[in-house]
Structure 1
Amino acid sequence: MRKLILQSMVTLDGYFASPDGKLDWHVVDAELNDYACELLDAVDGLLFGGATYACLAAYWSTPAAAHDAPEVAERMNRLPKFVFSRTRQRVDWHAAQLCTGDAVAEVERLKREPGGALAMFGSSRLASSLIAAELIDEFRIIVNPVILGRGRPLFSDIRNRLSLRLCRIRPLRSGSVLLYYQPEH
């Protein structure tokens, strides 16, 4: 069965986005881009909720992304993308497929297909439903050295406790820390 990795950036106070949805606090540098390439080289597909898809497609499919981080942009644009949304009518980003049905059932199907790991970026509502269904195999959380004071929590819709085991800690020169966790179930 394919592995599903949730990758997200959060602030020290646990927010994945500012109250207005902005991500301008992300600490992005060459070391983070190298890590992004490592992760993207290790997966065969990407999962997104509708809002995350809109944000990432709006940047990574542009000439600015190809200029700023060409190695990351090439991988983001090449990999198959599965976009989970009940309101979106279409997806235009290269190799993107719209998934409008039951997200849990669709991810269960994707995980049973042959192939390598899948990665999901942010997508907090989708993540919450997949956590509840015990479909996430690894959590990679990058804690950025910033406190927002308020914002959108990464895991706001979780109903049951999920115990995690810390597998690895990777400090970054920027002051961010990458934490690798696996569920204990």
Structure 2
Amino acid sequence: MRKLSSFTFITLDGYYKGQDQDISWHKHGAEEGEFSAKSLKSGNILLFGRTTYEMMASYWPTQMAMDSFPLVAEGMNKAEKIVFSRTLQKANWEHTRIISENIIDAVQKLKQQGANDMTLLGSGSILRQLAEAGLIDEYQVMIDPVAIGSGTPIFQNLNHQIDLKLINTRTFKSGVILLSYQPA
């Protein structure tokens, strides 16, 4: 069975995006770029909600992304991608397909087929739904050393408690900390 991981970067005060979808507070340095490039070599299928997909698709195929983070851009662009959306009609980013059916049913089916693991990037409302359904096998949370005061919490509108156990930590020279959890 495929494993499903989530990867979300957040602020010290628990927000994965600031006001008006702002993520400019996230400083992705060279060491974090190396981590991302290495992670993308795993061949995981990347999963997104529509909002995160549109943000990523507007950046990673650009020359700016290629110049700033060439290995990450290459990995993002070559990866198989799935976007969950009931409104998106066409995906212009290469290697992307749209799934508009029930997210829980779709992920349960995806976990049963194929060999490549999957990674959900950001996508807060999708993360919450999959977490509540018990479908996430590992949570990776990258905490940036910044507090922004307001925004959207990582588990906004969670309907029940989700207990996790810490399985790994990594500290980057920038002060960013990566925490990895599994369901308890």
TM tier, smaller: over 0.9
In the TM superposition, 1:4-153 aligns within 5 A as 4-153=4-153
Q: Deviations over 1:1-44 (max 9, x none)?
A: 11111000000000001111011000211100111012212243
1:139, CA displacement in angstroms?
0.4
1:171 is matched with: 171
* Number of residue pairs aligned between Structure 1 and Structure 2: 184
Structure 2 unaligned regions, length at least 5:
none
Q: Secondary structure at the match of 2:87?
A: coil
**TM-score of the aligned structures, taking structure 1 as reference length:** 0.97
Q: Secondary structure at the match of 1:116?
A: coil
The runs of at least 4 aligned residues of structure 1 exceeding 3 Å deviation read none
Q: Secondary structure at the match of 1:20?
A: helix
1:72, CA displacement in angstroms?
0.5
Q: Deviations over 1:122-174 (max 9, x none)?
A: 10001111011111000000010000000111110211111100001101100
Q: Secondary structure at the match of 2:180?
A: strand
**TM-score of the aligned structures, taking structure 2 as reference length:** 0.98
Sequence identity of aligned pairs in percent?
Answer: 36
Query: Partners in 2 of 1:79 and 1:115 — Cα distance?
Result: 14
Q: Secondary structure at the match of 1:182?
A: strand
1:116, CA displacement in angstroms?
2.1
Q: CA RMSD in A?
A: 0.8
Query: Partners in 2 of 1:149 and 1:56 — Cα distance?
Result: 24
Query: Partners in 2 of 1:163 and 1:81 — Cα distance?
Result: 29
